[in-house]
Structure 1
Amino acid sequence: MAPRKIIIDTDPGQDDAVAILLALASPEEIEVLGITAVAGNVPLELTQKNARIVCELAGKPETRVFAGCDRPIERPLVTAEHVHGKTGLDGPTLPDPTMPLQDAHAVDFIVETLRAEPEGSVTLCVLGPLTNIATALRRAPEIAGRIAEIVLMGGAYFEVGNITPAAEFNIYVDPHAAAEVFACGAPITVMPLDVTHKALVTGPRNDAFRALCTPVGHAVAEMTDFFERFDKEKYGSNGAPLHDPCVIAHLIDPEIFSGRHINVEIETGSELTLGMTVADWWRVTDRAPNATFIGDLDADRFFALLTERLGRL
């Protein structure tokens, strides 16, 4: 089969970086048409820079990177330097990128690509807040019917929140954008905290990255060494959850994951629960299903895939 055409929308972020590396290491399954940066984990000036740093680390400087929206649709930007460090990629020491940032705005690139490619041939892989995607849908509503699938990391159902008691970070940063995307009618697959918290980089798994003895392997190990300090303290876990690579791994080997097709609504009216993903996991309402919510993964199979692919770079 031909590789699946994707656009990666991202706010790197160490786990975003690993997801980008996984995608760029998998040309048999994935063709990366471009990477669109959005403000999220850190401001846009850093997310677009970090995306280019990661492309150069992968040895793929020909990858096109576009800067997108620098703030949410209706709210001030909330960032996560407390998790990712002041650069967003704290941990390894990586050189500034020399590859250019594309002149076009990320939203224009998304719209024009979906219009130009055959209908149903482009998947949007969303690793951060949904601002760029919602803005593209506002600008060109007809593109919703041209999207093959939106696969995103965000939300939760049993785990509930990681930035507030009720909300996961990516959805909380721009809940109005998330609400519009979930209502757009395109097929949606969601990697919530409930599954990503099972993708833990334990000591032996991080040792396997380091044992690749490559710049990519060492950089990923150093990213997760830094990243895990926050999660170990907060959750008492055995390592850092690799949230965003679950999106890319699902495209490569969907049998790693399992979930349910359910209704998901986004809370936008309450300060107490703003950004909550109200996921009807038990199907107790009559609201129509609009997303496949993933609930479990084979962690060993996930890390075997990730380590093998990182070893290619």
Structure 2
Amino acid sequence: MLIQTAKRLLQGAILMSTLAAAAIHAAPRDLIIDTDPGADDVVALFLAMASPDELKIRAITTVAGNVRLDKTSRNARLAREWAGREDIPVYAGAGRPLVRTPIYAADVHGEEGLTGVPVHEPKQGLAKGNAVQYLVDTLANAEPHSVTLAMLGPQTNLALALIQQPDIVKGIKEVVIMGGAHFNGGNITPVAEFNLYADPHAAEVVLGSGVKLTYLPLDVTHKVITSDARLKQLAAVGNGASQKVVDILNAYIKYDMDKYGMTGGPVHDATVIAYLLKPELFSGKQIHMTVDSREGPTFAQTVADWYGVLKQPANVMWIENGDAQGFFDLLSTRLARLK
């Protein structure tokens, strides 16, 4: 009898431990999205905002990049409005890079940062305060290694926060970045990707901070591309959010299809959110990476030591492959949750 009672108690303890572990595993990831919308940024925001079970979005912080700060901030608020997630605060941040002259990508994203859909001034305004100070305050007071940052544009806001208060690294769980290029080559110069080119000095600050870094470069985003069938799959969701995504993408992908002769177009920034939701869709490896901030033809190149020839310790997870159909299946499923 005593043995049977002990067994039952042990089984009960194991069950409780399993349930507790499952509850911990199921807790949503605390996330701050730093972004410069941008067409693909809006798709990324929709994907994140449609995934509250996995992602607890504490705030959206905006930065100048694809277009000027006033327009990126408006577009972030538009995405929030369209997704019905006005509960998420939007903070405006840096209006220019740390050092270099500002550049924009209106030739890709249009003068307003969004093509294919009309834009307007959203009903709800910006949160009071500056994005950089928000990052400092939030990360300084966070539980150790608890907050993930999804960086969808130039890394200026985080760099400024780290310069202001370096010990905020203790609050960061991981920084997941859309940026860089190696095997693919660049999209703004032969070797540089736009987000890094827009502020390579900020990327150097973040890289030197010692935080856990994951890069989703052009190497992977140019493999996760649209097709006629995938756009029809998104349209078949049949709600307002999916129609906006299809309209945005139909206009946005033309640039890359014409430039590269591709059969479809990439949705760069949305791969960061997909990675956070379903990392099993992607593969890569830990490598050593540096950013070239010297003026010249290799300015803003991400020097990715894929084969380890420099014998330097790895400092980033470099994602090199992704399941394109798996990505669009995920996007379709999540868009169906919106209106």
TM-score interval (norm. to shorter)? over 0.9
- Contact in 2 for aligned 1:13/1:84 (Cα 8 Å): yes
Q: For residues 226-266 of structure 1, what are the alpha-carbon distances to aligned partners after superposition, in whole Å with 9 as ceiling and x for unaligned?
A: 10110111011112201001111111111000001000100
| Matched AA of 1:258 | S
Runs of 4 or more, structure 1, over 3 Å off, are: none
Q: Distance in 1 between matches of 2:203 and 2:178?
A: 11
Q: Distance in 2 between matches of 1:92 and 1:240?
A: 18
Match of residue 149 from structure 2:
124
Match of residue 102 from structure 1:
127
Q: Distance in 2 between matches of 1:270 and 1:14?
A: 29
| Matched AA of 1:188 | L
Q: For residues 153-208 of structure 1, what are the alpha-carbon distances to aligned partners after superposition, in whole Å with 9 as ceiling and x for unaligned?
A: 00011112100111000000001001111111000000000100111111111112
| Matched AA of 1:109 | Y
Match of residue 15 from structure 2:
none
Identity %: 45
In the alignment, structure 1 segments of 5+ residues that lack a partner are: none
Match of residue 16 from structure 2:
none
**How big is the shift at 1:36?**
0.3
In the alignment, structure 2 segments of 5+ residues that lack a partner are: 1-25
SS at match of 2:290: strand
**How big is the shift at 1:61?**
1.3
**How big is the shift at 1:94?**
4.0
Match of residue 238 from structure 1:
263
Match of residue 187 from structure 1:
212
Alignment of 1:215-294 (within 5 A): 215-294=240-319
SS at match of 1:152: strand
Q: Distance in 1 between matches of 2:297 and 2:264?
A: 30
Match of residue 50 from structure 1:
75
**Which one has the largest radius of gyration?**
2
Q: Distance in 2 between matches of 1:217 and 1:302?
A: 15
The reply to whether residue 137 of structure 1 matches residue 162 of structure 2 is: yes
- Contact in 2 for aligned 1:145/1:185 (Cα 8 Å): no
The reply to whether residue 74 of structure 1 matches residue 80 of structure 2 is: no
- Contact in 2 for aligned 1:171/1:178 (Cα 8 Å): yes
Q: Distance in 2 between matches of 1:75 and 1:45?
A: 19
* TM-score (norm: length of structure 1): 0.98
Match of 2:45 among 5, 17, 20: 20
- Contact in 2 for aligned 1:258/1:295 (Cα 8 Å): yes
SS at match of 1:240: coil
The structure whose residues are more often helix, as a share, is 2
How many pairs does the alignment contain?
A: 313
